[in-house]
Each structure stands twice: as C-alpha cells, then as structure tokens.
A and B are shown apart, each in its own frame.
Chain A
Amino acid sequence: MHTQKDVLAGVIELISKKLIDAEKILTELDSMGDADCGSGIRRGFEAVLNSIGEIKELEVGDMLKKVGFTLAYTIGGTSGAMLGTGFIETGKSIGDNRDPQPADWLKALKCALGVIKRRGGNTQIEDKTLVDALEPAIAAIQALHETGQATMLQLLEGAYAAAKEGSDRTIDMVARKGRASYVGERSRGNRDPGSLVIVLMFEAALEIYRRLN
C-alpha cells in the first residue's frame, strides 16, 4: 500500500522530468515574450530534483510548499511566481492532513487557482494564460467528484482531458495578460506555454496513478 506522500513524491518527480524535457517547446512557445520560459522552468525543476531526497521525507502539505518555494526561489519571472504560488497555496490548504481525500484536493486546488488569478492581476479565462488549462481541469474534477462515484484515477483522467482541451483553445486566443498582451493580435496562433505546463503536470499525475492501478 502506497501512502499519499509516496505517490505525491512520484508525481513531483515525474512532473519535474517532463518539464525539464519540455524546455525547447516552451522556449519556442514563448517567442512572443522573450523566450526565457523554457530555461527558467528547467532551472526550477532541476532544483526540485536536486532536493527530491529531502522533499520525499516531508508530509503532503509541506512537500507541496517546499516544491513551491523551490520554484519561486529559482525560476524568477512570472512563471516562478505563478507556479510557486500554485504549489505553496495547495500545500497551505492541505495543511497537516496526511491523507487528503478528493474533496480536500479539490478545495486546495481551488484555493491555489484563486491566488494565481489574483497574482496575475485578476486573470480570467480567455486571457491566454495557465488559467485556461487549470480552471477547466478543476471544474472537471468538481463535476466528476459531485457524481459521488469517481475514483482518483477517473478524476485525473477528467482533469487531464479538460486541461488539454483548455490549452488547445489558447492557440486561437489573443493574450490579455502577461508580456504577450502587449502585441495584441500578433499573439494569436501560438499555444500559451503556461497552459502547456499545467497539461504536463496533470499528465504526470495521471501516469503515476495509472501505474498504481
């Protein structure tokens, strides 16, 4: 039997590997900005992997906070603030609960989303940011959870599909937040790199849960 913290540590490790591998594609997608998204995120998740031994020793809430602070301390820029905020706020909401249930995760993710939106300057859906992937993913988890029947695996399958669909929609959007917003119409046609980061995170979580089942 795996404890939640073991599973979470596995998810964090896989997320890190996936995002380090995504450096090139993230850099290309950030060409409307200044193409620093990929290298910053690589730097952040390399730092997470460097302290993975220490991270594994922590309980769920502290583990998430430690990942968040590591990202906020090493990435810099908007990515560092938003990803850092996401993990830190999720961890704060989980607190010292060692066995959070789907309802606890849902509440934690909603907290994180709220602070991410505030940090970005009241970011909304269709501003072409990571929120376009994260908000639908959380909505999908909520809808499935409310059926009262969904397993953790099913929740993650729903979240991943919704994140991916949301990220795909950013391709046709005109950015209204972040540096890409300054170029107006010229930002259309490129996927938002932040939304891809969210997709890869849910993809990693889903892969780990599939292995468990």
Chain B
Amino acid sequence: MKKIINKPDDFVGDMLKGLELSNPEKIGVLYGKRIVYRKDPYLNKVAIISGSGSGHEPDQAFYVGRGMLDAACAGPVFAAPTLDAIVDAAKLVDRGRGVLFLVKNYTGDRANFEMASEMLAFEGGPVVDTVIINDDVAVKDSTWTAGRRGVAGAMFVYKIVGAKSQEDGTDLSSLKKLAMLVNDNVRTMGFALKSCTTPAKGSPTFDLGDDDLELGVGLHGEPGRQRLKFMPADEIIKIITDSVLEDLPFISGDEVAVMINGLGGTPISELYIAAGITHTIIKNKKIKVFKTYVNNYCTSLDMEGCSVSILRLDEEFKRLLISPCDIPIRYF
C-alpha cells in the first residue's frame, strides 16, 4: 500500500489536523472525539449535525460551515462515530433551538445516533430529532436488507437543510419535514471499476477483475448487487442513469439537479464524460436540468467509479440549493 499515511490508527486525526490548519477561520476540531465544528459565531438557529465513518471525504467533515452543517462527527474509517462524540457535538452546537441529526441509513450510524438521542433525552437536552437518508436505488428496500443506503444524495439534503436553517424563524420540526422531503425526491446509483483500500487492511476490500465492474457498490467498499463485464462509458452511465430515473420515477416536465459524484479514485475528466452522457439521457426525456454538480462529493477512499444522483426540484429547493455557503472545500 503506497499512501500519504503515517500510522493507520492516525489516519482520521491527521486528516482533521490538515483540515483545521487549512481552514483556521472556518472550523475547529475536537481531536479526542473527532468532532468538527463551525467556528464563526451564530445564534438563534437549529443546529445541523451529520456523522458517519470517515473515508467518504469531503462527506461530511468538509461540509461544516455557514449554510451547511454546524458540526460533523467523524468516526473511524468506515465505522459509525461513537456515542459520546455525537452527544458532545449536540451539546456543543445547540443554540437553544434544538439539533437535527442527518443520518445516512446504515445500521451502525442509526444505532449510535439513536443511543445518543436517548442519552440526551435522559440528560434533559438539547432537544434533538433525526432524519434518515436513504437514496440508493441499488439496494432493494425490503425486510430482507437493512434497507436502502444513504449515499451521495445526502449531500443535497445537507445543502438544502443547512441553507434553510440559516433563515429566520425556521424551527426543528419544519427542518425535519424539509429534510424528509429532499430525501423523498432524490435517488442515486453508482458503480465501481476498482475497489478501495482501507488504511487498516492495506489491501483492496474486494477483488474486481480487470474486465469487471461492480454495479450498485456500497460506500464502504462492500460489494454491490451485480458484477458486470466492463463496458464503454455510454453503456454503463446509461444503466445507472436509467435506474435512477425509473425509480422515483422522474418524468417529462420535471426540473432536476444532477450530481455526478466521483468515488475518490476517478479523474475529474472522466466524471465530466459521465456528466455529458447523463445530460443527454435526461434531456431526451424532456427533463430540465437546473444545475449540475460534478466532483468528488461523497467518496470511498480511493475507489474508482462514480454515482449519479438526481434530485427533483421545486422553487424552494432551487433557492436553497444555490444560496451561498461557506465550507472548507473550494477551488479558489
């Protein structure tokens, strides 16, 4: 394994240190509990927290800032954050208006946020509520699985809910409804060309032959539902775009935002090739694209591949999506 890593156990802490030193005016880090919090002063707003295992950066430590998250709990690589980190983060960012937890649907994340909620209720505050995000169409949502996963579509939830939380008079229950509404209107599907290497294991999480691609791969390097033979970009991007469009379904006349999300190891150039293909498919269906996001938004370390997320918009979503936010990641 050749990586810019010292000791595997220091991976998350070392990354957060770099994040903090690069953005001293924006965020602070509590290293013991791996909490990233917003540094600029704010009052009288509902606080927004997300958390999950690390290794998905920029999701979600890099989305802390005005207009998005007020704190993020960074767990060990690919493992949910600990109970105490979530409890402490909630106490840290609460401004008396309550805290909304935005949690991607994984058993460990749900369980730890649920324990934290119970503990805070027992201790008498702050008031918290939770929205579970589950946008991944790759997983059959049935009693036979842990349910659809939360993947890149969660970024739209953070952005829209974070923007709304800055507006005067927005309370916890209306933010919760908004978060659920965004989740209901976004769908995602991805594929991998190459597995990822976790610092602890040092070798790929699963084997993927030179001629193979994994459809519906999970964010943690868990294998997907189906292995296909490698195919040209036009064909694979059509498969994932169509499965997203058919699931909601998105129909002629809809207005949407599109996210082409890199899984960490794929060049931006290839992501734009994917974006071009997805655009053509969507336009042929007479669906209007309001805005397109192409970048690494929610990754699996160095996994190669991408996901396509599509969000159906209304006027409020549009306004909140494009309203400015001040978070660590930026180009200039």
By a beta-carbon cutoff of 8 Å, the part of chain A in contact with chain B is 27, 32-36, 39-40, 69, 72-82, 84-85, 119-121, 176-184, 186
Contacts and interface: CB of A to CB of B under 8 A. Distances in A.
20 contacts: A34-B220, A35-B205, A36-B76, A36-B77, A40-B76, A75-B79, A76-B112, A77-B75, A77-B112, A80-B79, A81-B80, A81-B108, A85-B111, A119-B114, A179-B146, A181-B144, A182-B149, A183-B222, A184-B145, A186-B223
A39 B225 CA distance: 27
Given A34-B221, A36-B198, A69-B83, 6 more contacts: A36-B200, A78-B80, A81-B108, A121-B147, A182-B222, A184-B145
Contacts of A180: 222
A78 B83 contact: no
Interface of B: 53, 75-84, 106-108, 110-112, 114-115, 138-139, 143-147, 149, 198, 200-201, 205, 218, 220-225
B115 A36 contact: no
Contacts of B145: 176-177, 181-182, 184
Nearest to A72: B83
A76 B111 contact: no
A37 B248 CA distance: 35
A73 B88 CA distance: 11
Contact of A176 (B144, B205, B221): B144
Contacts of A73: 82-84
Contacts of B80: 76-78, 80-81
B83 A77 contact: no
Contacts of A186: 223
Contact of B79 (A36, A72, A85, A184): A36
A29 B76 CA distance: 19
Question: Does more than half of chain A's interface fall in helix, strand or loop, or is it mixed?
Answer: helix
Contacts of A184: 144-145, 225
A33 B222 contact: yes
Contacts of B224: 182-183
Nearest to B108: A78
B218 A179 contact: yes
Nearest to A85: B115
A33 B220 contact: yes
Nearest to B79: A77
B135 to A, nearest CB: 14
Contacts of B144: 176, 181, 184
Contacts, number: 129
A34 B111 contact: no
Nearest to A122: B143
A35 B198 contact: yes
Contacts of A82: 111
A51 to B, nearest CB: 14
Contacts of A69: 83-84
Given A176-B145, A181-B145, A34 B198 contact: yes
Contacts of A80: 79-80, 82-83, 108, 112
Contacts of A32: 222-223
A82 B147 CA distance: 18
Nearest to B205: A34
Nearest to B139: A182
Contacts of B111: 78, 81-82, 85, 119-120
B82 A72 contact: yes
B209 to A, nearest CB: 15
Contacts of A74: 82
A76 B107 contact: no
Nearest to A186: B223
Most B Cβ at <10 Å: residue of A27, A180, A184: A184
A72 B84 contact: yes
B82 A179 contact: no
A76 B200 contact: no
Contacts of A84: 83, 115
A203 B106 CA distance: 30
Nearest to B217: A182
List the 10 closest pairs (A to B, CB-CB), nearest first: A77-B79, A81-B111, A78-B108, A77-B108, A181-B145, A72-B83, A76-B79, A73-B84, A119-B111, A34-B78
A119 B79 contact: no
A181 to B, nearest CB: 4
Interface centre among B77, B80, B107, B198 (most CB of A within 10 A): B107
Contacts of A85: 111, 115
Given A82-B111, A181-B145, A34 B84 contact: no
Nearest to A179: B222
A74 B9 CA distance: 13
A76 B110 CA distance: 12
Most buried by B among A76, A178, A180, A186: A76
A40 B79 contact: yes
A25 to B, nearest CB: 15
B115 A81 contact: yes
Contacts of A176: 143-146
